[in-house]
Amino acid sequence: MTIGVIGGSGIYEALPLENTRTESISTPYGDPSEAVTLGELGGNDVAFLPRHGEDHQHTPTDAQYRANIYALKSVGVDRVIATNAVGSLREDLPPRTLVVPDQIFDRTKHRSPTFFGDGMVVHMGFANPYCPAMVDHLATAAAEATDDDTKTENGGTYVCIEGPQYSTRAESEFYREQGWDVVGMTAIPEAKLAREAELSYATVAGVTDYDVWKADNEVTLQEVLENAEANQEAINRVIERAIRTMPEDFHSEAWSALEGTINTPREAIPEETLERVDLLAGDYLD
């Protein structure tokens, strides 16, 4: 198995990877945010990629989501552990809480949500946007790897906004009225693309703030960065635990997600498109 990790550079620096090397990968969807770092941990192969680039130079809108997922797929990744910084929409999920969400509500506007198109129509099921098997595994790792001072939450809905601005107060209050749990900017299209690439995908989200619904509360970059740094140690422990305890009999329904979803006959798909998606869908187009 090869386990992909998507997050900030602090994760890579903390993971005790052995036999590391970097690999620069070009994809049909452009270059990834950075070169992929490959290594070994607990007998498992690991591929790490920073979503926003090593120096956080890509915004949530223009991060190289398609190239990142494609690059991980190309080096043999079949499951992905992601991390996100999020705002809390619940009083009982204070900053420095870790959440393993199981649902997403998409409010993004300007992002490419699919590898396909260009003469090839794919209708992908997405009822469970995070792989249930990976959600369960991450939630168990979070419970086992954190101390009594770190609150963890299993399940919840992540509402993904476009950014890079934070929510208005009206938006934040609306999200709370819907019963959603956390708000962030990077779950989409990453989760959709991971499903199209048939990767088992889930995330550990670290709460950095109360968004702006809370009376007299304004989200500031300083607050977000301070709490994100405080969350980092706990998130690192969770990811390391999840990698070390990944079961050999792990199975994900995502690994056959493309089956029965391609709506265009092979002979009608342009050759250029067939070539571009061969890594992702070639087994279904023979």
pLDDT in tens, 88-119: 999 999 999 999 999 999 999 999 999 999 99
% of the chain with per-residue pLDDT over 70 = 99
Domain with 180 in it: 2-284
Per-residue confidence (pLDDT) for residue 205, from 0 to 100 = 96
The number of folded domains in the chain is 1
Average of per-residue pLDDT values in the chain: 94
Q: Is 102 a catalytic residue?
A: no
- Average pLDDT on 26-32 reads 97
Instruction: Tell me whether the omega of the peptide bond preceding residue 270 falls within 30 degrees of 0, making it cis.
Output: no
Per-residue confidence (pLDDT) for residue 148, from 0 to 100 = 83
Q: Give residue-wise pLDDT tens across range 234-249.
A: 999 999 999 999 998 9
Query: In the structure, what pLDDT confidence band is assigned to residue 56 with cuts at 50, 70 and 90?
Result: confident
Q: Is 181 a catalytic residue?
A: no
pTM summary value: 0.95
List of residues 6+ apart from 4 with CB closer than 8 A: 46, 47, 48, 49, 72, 77, 79, 80, 81, 199
Here the tokens at position 17 are: 């990877």
CATH code assigned at 227? 3.40.50.1580
Q: Give residue-wise pLDDT tens across range 180-213.
A: 999 999 999 999 999 999 999 999 999 999 999 9
| Between 15 and 192, residue with greater pLDDT | 192
List of residues 6+ apart from 92 with CB closer than 8 A: none
Q: Catalytic: which of 78, 92, 209, 216?
A: 209
- Average pLDDT on 127-147 reads 96
Contact 250, 133 (CB under 8 A): yes
Cα-atom radius of gyration of the chain, to the nearest Å?
18
Q: Catalytic: which of 102, 106, 181, 211?
A: 211
